[in-house]
């Protein structure tokens, strides 16, 4: 096995962890959000995939493991651990929003994100409680992913 | 070197790799967009690195590693290795399906569809979880290098486009609610237990019975279909329908030519990792769907003489379904609802649905192949002026299949080889695109 194989290339959990951490950072400190619009748009994309796409995270136990010839191909390796990202999103939703419906929870999160990302264009009112729930959500998401990786 | 320093070093390395690429200076328009996206991602990563927590350095290194793969692909898109007119057709179809609308349509972002040739089979690689630096998502379309000219087989990309579309937030949502929900509401795909029951049906073919019995002998317990794979079968079957609706009977022909020989038996599937339904199930579904769409009826008439016979031979090849009744997975009501759902999706995203050609168009296209000319609606009129009748590129491909599968009716000797037919059809796509581009100018 190549020496760098221990590094988890194309690991969706790392990407999701970065996204959660940036969202947290911007909610806590809206002044930095303006220069992080691109990253926050990707947080939104991730949340939308979780909210509406039934195939999101339907990767299989052995998906992403390539044979020797495939490893030499220059295509990007298949993203691994998308299922774990979906599970972490599910966990974070329960922690932050309890029994609220998935749509209601995600609607709230996306409103907070929009208000942080585009404060000038956004007309919706975001309460302090909404912001706290969003913070709780992204913190739980990051923690769950980190714990999953540490116990692997 | 501390981890933070290594991250900074790696960033500079990837940045240098991007700047050392040459192709963007002289490549087509798409290459420049691709290059700009890589450059923009690097700018975003630079901002991220400035505030990175030590616990996230590994994830940032992964993002850089992914970006370096994308950068290396800039130089890998060589027009001489795949059919570029077909690649353009894929771009046309995929672009509206993969265009994203963020914040309820306030921001619209198109994908970057990049085409390469690889040693392996047909694939489209799409970014499922977009890294923080992403503006446009990449979709890499990989043609199999050995099949450079085989545009008739390239219709199998209809299936791959289906996979990618299902993983988008817009078209994917619609496919989930209007197609997948229909196929899983009742019947064999409604639960893993239902598939297990179907596998143990007394009417199952002997290959299945033997496999199930062998599993029991090896493991001491009866086989149960793994829950996690149900959604995979849903996805694969939807992709087959997607291909049919995009490319028509030509897709079923390509599906049969490419897939049947790769299965030892039509009923075989991997019991432990059942990623795909048995071939017989997929073929049965496609043939039934084709009949429900009315595409098993010839468009030419007896007045078109040999070409009509050739079309009938093609239809016979496509609808031939010698498999056990057990392979019928859906009832007509379910299948019709799924077809309507997909038609609705395609209508909303670019409207690239296959339509049957008019009889004279198909006849003229096949006749051009008989005369060893690319099958397009171009000709010279009596005054010596060039004429051009625009039609769907899928009709040129259908003409290719009709010539190949019905050639016994068309020529007595010196029939074109499968490769030659494909080359002529490839030329037809190229010429048609050229003529249309010229007209636009």
Residue A2 lies in a domain: no
Kindly report each contact of residues B378-386 with a partner whose C-beta sits within 8 Å and lies 24 or more positions away, as own/partner: B378/B431, B378/B435
Residue B29 — pLDDT band, cuts 50, 70, 90?
low
Residue A1 lies in a domain: no
Among all residues of chain A, which has the CA nearest to that of B275? A60
Stretch B119-131: mean pLDDT, rounded?
Answer: 87
Q: What is the reported pTM?
A: 0.92
Q: How far apart are the C-alpha atoms of B437 and B435, rounded to whole Å?
A: 5
What does the pLDDT look like over B230-286, one tens digit per residue?
A: 999 999 999 999 999 999 999 999 999 999 998 889 998 899 999 999 999 999 999
The whole-number pLDDT of residue A124 equals 67
B25 pLDDT exceeds 80? no
Q: How far apart are the C-alpha atoms of B131 and B114, rounded to whole Å?
A: 18
Residue B216 — pLDDT band, cuts 50, 70, 90?
very high
Residue among A109, A144, A138, A133 at smallest CA distance from A24? A138
The whole-number pLDDT of residue B441 equals 66
Stretch B337-364: mean pLDDT, rounded?
Answer: 95
Residue A29 lies in a domain: yes
CA B238 and chain centroid, separation: 12
CB contacts of A49 in chain B (<8 Å) are 128-129, 167, 169
Average pLDDT across chain A, whole number: 83
Considering only CB atoms, A75 lies closest to which of B44, B140, B167, namely: B140
List the Cα angle B302/B303/B306 in 5-degree steps: 70
Which of the 8 DSSP states describes residue B144? Answer: E
In sequence order, which ranges of B301-358 are alpha helices (DSSP H)? 305-319, 332-348
The whole-number pLDDT of residue A7 equals 52
The whole-number pLDDT of residue B328 equals 93
What does the pLDDT look like over B397-439, one tens digit per residue?
A: 999 999 999 999 988 778 899 999 999 999 999 999 888 887 7
The whole-number pLDDT of residue A68 equals 54
The whole-number pLDDT of residue A70 equals 54
Residue A95 lies in a domain: yes
What does the pLDDT look like over B80-123, one tens digit per residue?
A: 888 989 999 999 999 999 999 998 888 999 999 988 888 878 88
Q: Which domain holds residue A60?
A: 7-150
Residue among B28, B10, B16 at smallest CA distance from B65? B10
Residue A32 lies in a domain: yes
Type and span of the H or E element at B108: strand B107-109
Domains: count for chain A:
1
Stretch A70-75: mean pLDDT, rounded?
Answer: 53
Share of chain A above pLDDT 70, in %: 77
CB contacts of A35 in chain B (<8 Å) are 47
In a mutational test of the B interface, the residue from A18, A57, A62, A147 whose CB has the highest number of chain B CBs within 10 Å is A18
Residue A54 lies in a domain: yes
């Amino acid at each position: 096995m190549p020496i760098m194989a221990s590094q988890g290339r194309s690991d969706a959990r790392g990407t999701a962890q970065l996204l959660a951490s940036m969202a947290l950072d911007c909610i806590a400190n809206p002044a930095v959000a303006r220069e992080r619009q691109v990253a926050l748009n990707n947080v939104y994309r991730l949340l939308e995939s979780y909210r509406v796409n039934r195939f999101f995270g339907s990767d299989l136990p052995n998906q992403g493991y390539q044979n020797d010839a495939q490893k030499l191909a220059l295509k990007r390796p298949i993203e691994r651990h998308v299922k774990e990202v979906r599970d972490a999103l599910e966990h974070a939703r329960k922690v932050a929003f309890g029994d609220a419906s998935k749509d209601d929870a995600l609607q709230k999160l996306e409103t907070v994100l929009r208000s942080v990302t585009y404060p000038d264009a956004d007309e919706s009112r975001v309460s302090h409680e909404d912001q706290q729930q969003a913070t709780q959500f992204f913190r739980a998401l990051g923690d769950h992913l980190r714990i999953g990786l540490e116990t692997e | 070197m501390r981890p933070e320093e290594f991250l900074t070093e790696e960033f500079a390395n990837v940045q240098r790799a991007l700047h050392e690429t040459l192709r963007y200076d002289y490549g087509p328009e798409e290459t420049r967009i691709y290059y700009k996206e890589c450059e923009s991602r690097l700018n975003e990563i630079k901002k991220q690195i400035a505030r990175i927590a030590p616990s996230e350095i590994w994830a940032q290194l992964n993002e850089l590693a992914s970006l370096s793969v994308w950068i290396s692909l800039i130089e890998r898109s060589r027009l001489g290795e795949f059919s570029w007119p077909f690649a353009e057709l894929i771009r046309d179809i995929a672009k509206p399906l993969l265009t994203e609308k963020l914040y309820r349509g306030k921001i619209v972002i198109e994908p970057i569809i990049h085409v390469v040739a690889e040693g392996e089979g047909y694939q489209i690689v799409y970014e499922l979880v977009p890294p923080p630096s992403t503006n446009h998502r990449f979709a890499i379309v990989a043609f199999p290098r050995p099949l450079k000219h085989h545009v008739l087989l390239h219709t199998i990309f209809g299936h791959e486009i289906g996979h990618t579309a299902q993983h988008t937030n817009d078209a994917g949502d619609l496919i989930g609610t209007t197609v997948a929900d229909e196929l899983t509401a009742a019947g064999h795909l409604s639960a893993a237990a239902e598939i297990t029951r179907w596998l143990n049906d007394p009417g199952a073919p002997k290959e299945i019975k033997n496999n199930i019995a062998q599993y029991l002998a090896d493991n001491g317990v009866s086989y149960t279909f793994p829950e996690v794979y149900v959604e995979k079968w849903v996805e694969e079957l939807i992709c087959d329908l997607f291909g049919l609706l995009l490319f028509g009977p030509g897709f079923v022909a390509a599906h049969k030519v490419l897939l049947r020989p790769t299965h030892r038996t039509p009923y075989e599937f991997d019991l432990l990792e059942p990623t795909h339904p048995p071939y017989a199930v997929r073929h049965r579904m496609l043939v039934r769907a084709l009949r429900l769409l009315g595409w098993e009826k010839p468009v030419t008439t007896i007045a078109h003489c040999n070409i009509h016979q050739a079309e009938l031979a093609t239809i016979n090849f496509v609808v031939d379904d010698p498999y056990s009744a057990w392979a019928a997975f859906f009832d007509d009501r379910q299948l019709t609802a799924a077809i309507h759902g997909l038609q609705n999706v395609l209508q909303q995203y670019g409207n690239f649905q296959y339509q049957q050609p008019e009889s004279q168009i198909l006849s003229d296209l096949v006749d051009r192949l008989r005369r060893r000319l690319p099958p397009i609606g171009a000709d010279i009129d009596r005054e010596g002026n060039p004429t051009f009748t625009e039609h769907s590129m899928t009709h040129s491909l259908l003409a290719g299949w009709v010539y190949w599968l019905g050639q016994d009716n068309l020529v007595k000797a010196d029939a074109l080889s499968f490769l030659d037919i494909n080359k002529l059809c490839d030329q037809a796509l190229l010429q048609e695109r050229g003529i249309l581009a010229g007209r636009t100018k």
